[in-house]
Structure 1
Amino acid sequence: MDFIREVAVLLEKEILLEKKQKTVVGLGMFFAFLLVFVFSIIFMDTSVDLRLVSGLLWIAVTFTVILVVNRSLYVDQENNCIEALFMSPISKHAVFWGKCLAIFIMLAVLQFFMAIVFIVFFQVILQANALGKLIFTQLLGTFAMSNITILVAMMISKIKGGEILLPVILLPLLIPLIISLVETTSLILGGNGNEGQLGQWMRLIVFYSAAVIIVPSLFLDNITNE
């Protein structure tokens, strides 16, 4: 119960800080809209298939996640806030999961905005029975992507120029997840009824999401002590 209470307090702290400063969501929404606008201009006069739309969507999500995590950790590091939290009696795992849940909520808002803009700009016809699967895939993919990004960002936070190294280290780790998300999203949007293939890609996403829950639990103490 203490762990849950600590996570809830830290989550509330992150949400209140964002409501006051309006930097993470505001910056992320502007960046996401800019990416979608650029993509739509590039492919305005060409026929765009659903697999390409899915790929563009998750490229936009990936770079938005990196931007949001970098900005959020930068705010915490301005006054050594994150180091102070790790040195406090609060569980380090509570600090990590409070940060993860807060960023996940912010990214879920951005993901909803981006999905709507993509559907409108690229004139994607979404079937009613695909809506639930699409929302589940978007949320699960965003959860996994944000968690691994925060973990890697914390690992390199004390390195000079760590914010530049983050994409270099992170993107190879995200390749299996991004491929799975693109394939799953394109199958859902296409509605071709290939449930077997969809299930295979979905299981890979679930496996990756489980891994990003287990790995921080095993190595977070070592990472934060370095």
Structure 2
Amino acid sequence: MKIGLYFGTFNPIHIGHLIIANHMAEHADLDQVWMVVTPHNPLKKKSTLLDDYHRLQMVYLATEDFTKIKPSDIEFKLSQPNYTVNTLVHLQEKFPDHAFSLIMGEDNLESLHKWKNYKVILEHHDIYVYPRISSENDTSLKGELAQQNLDLKNHPKVHLIDAPVVEISSTFIRNNIKKGKNVQPLLPHKVWEYIDHNNFYRK
């Protein structure tokens, strides 16, 4: 089975995340998409990041009606700080019959060369990339960096997917909940109910 891994803090998960995940599940060469909830790094100040299991529960609520999209807490079990290459090794050992790929925005692809052992990742895993407005409009890439970005886009393991461009951020949602604004259209209904019931992001 081909699994696409969509990493994020999902603080909270919103309809933009679901649009991307569903598009990848339906239109990329993938059988399922796993939403991998990134745990809180104990070395960093917690700030507005909700508890790991609250964020996992919101991903579960958001995806329970999607047969091809699953929540994953795989990184909760790994030592921190964690690196994607370690998560991939762990998953491959735990699920040897699955082929794991990464799902990321174009902006993340541009910084992939900074990731730990990124060449190892490219050697063993496909990467499915969705467009971002911020990436398309970025004219600051010059010279060697621009060439490096072009080389990555042309890499045989990198697949550019013509997914919808969705510019909704969890930060925007959190800030507007704090201001008392109505953000319900940006969230799956069950996620909004969970946030409202628990009084999250209001302080």
Length-normalised TM-score, structure 2: 0.27
Greater C-alpha Rg: 1
Q: Which has the higher helix share?
A: 1
